[in-house]
Amino acid sequence: MTTSGPSETRETPVSLDEDSAVTVLQHLESERGKMFTESDYREMRSAVLDEIAHGARIRPFTLFTFAVILLGLGAMVAVGVVTFKDTRDHTLTIVSSIALIAAAYFFWNVLNGVKNDAYRSIDARLEELKQLQRHRLISDEEFNDIQAHILMARQRASQ
């Protein structure tokens, strides 16, 4: 069997989640230069590796964005309720209420995802890192660096 490139020699993730780091990095690499510029690729790849090393977290800008959206939708619900008395039209109230509920549900799921990631065992994080190495998606230097971060977290947790 001959191969024409390094990506063809990689294993395919048969039983991996679509959210697994292996799947995400393989997708990023396959779209490199097509959908993503080189700088976008490096930035997204770095974010994935950072999440493996340090765990998922919510960035302040994400909180700010959700707060603005939720407050804006809440204000639209209030405006819809106030204007209902004059116009007898429920459209603004109903549509903005549905949007507010959907945005709140999405934000709740984001928070739960971060919380669930925080409960992942260090062994599970190390196994995910080993999968990345087996699929040759990270260099040995990156593997050692991320492994050191994970093991430092284990040491901090045991103290």
Distances (CA, A) of 68 to 63, 77, 82, 145: 9, 14, 21, 37
Q: Which two tokens stand for residue 92?
A: 């603004």
Alpha-carbon torsion angle 103, 59, 118, 148, nearest 10 = 150
CA angle 26, 12, 126 (to 5 degrees): 70
| End-to-end CA gap in the chain | 52
At residue 4, the pLDDT reads 41
Q: Where are the domains of the chain?
A: 18-55+122-158, 60-117
Question: What is the b/e burial string over 105-142, where b = at least 16 CB atoms within 10 angstroms of the residue's CB?
Answer: eebeeeeeeeeeeeeeeeeebbebbebbbebebbeeeb
Answer yes or no: are the C-beta atoms of 124 and 17 closer than 8 Å: no
Closest-CA residue to 15 (of 139, 135, 142, 120): 135
Digit-by-digit pLDDT tens for the chain (159 residues) are 434 444 444 444 445 566 788 888 888 888 888 888 888 889 999 888 888 888 888 889 999 999 999 999 999 999 999 887 777 788 889 999 999 999 999 999 999 988 888 778 888 888 889 999 999 988 889 999 999 988 887 666 666
